[in-house]
């Protein structure tokens, strides 16, 4: 479990891009498998640390994205590291439900370059049509 910092000086050590975002990589804390990459802004990073759940910034929807809000596939943060340049985060997470990708796979990195084509190397664990429920219901 991560501890909540008492001050926000640590936020100033993050190199936010021109859009106020930083790349955040989620890695399975047990297996070490990279699950996904998403973006965080200051608010989402602060909320993630205070709640212990991964909360990202959705660039396509221009709003906070609480991982697992509609699918139930929440990420429980075990630790967060900042890279040497200060422009990327690595989060060790417990992936609830074993699915991180919106395609129903364990990882978003399921395609591998084979010759001159990207080939799917991982089976769908759960049909996305049955995984997502409307948050308006």
Which residues does the annotation place in the binding site for Zn(2+)? 84, 101, 108
- Which residue, chain included where needed, has tokens 């422009």? 87
List residues forming the annotated binding site.
Answer: 83-85, 87, 101, 108
Other C-beta atoms closer than 10 Å to the C-beta of 73 total: 21
C-alpha to C-alpha distance for 51 and 47, rounded to whole angstroms: 6
Query: Does an H or E element contain 59, and which?
Result: none
Computed on alpha carbons and rounded to an integer, the radius of gyration of the chain in Å comes to 16
Helix, strand or coil for residue 80?
Answer: strand
Provide the annotated binding site for Mg(2+).
Answer: 83, 85, 87
């Amino acid at each position: 479990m991560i501890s909540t910092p008492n001050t926000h000086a640590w936020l100033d050590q993050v190199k936010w891009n021109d859009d106020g975002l930083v790349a955040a990589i989620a890695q399975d804390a047990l297996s070490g498998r990279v699950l996904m990459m998403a973006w965080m802004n200051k608010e989402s990073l602060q909320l993630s640390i205070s709640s212990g759940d991964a909360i990202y910034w959705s660039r396509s929807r221009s709003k906070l994205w609480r991982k697992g809000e509609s699918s139930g596939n929440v990420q429980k943060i075990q630790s967060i590291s900042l890279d040497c340049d200060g422009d990327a985060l690595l989060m060790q997470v417990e992936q609830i439900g074993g699915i991180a990708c919106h395609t129903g796979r364990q990882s978003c990195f399921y395609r591998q370059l084979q010759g001159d084509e990207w080939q799917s190397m991982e089976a769908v664990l759960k049909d996305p049509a049955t995984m997502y429920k409307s948050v308006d219901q």
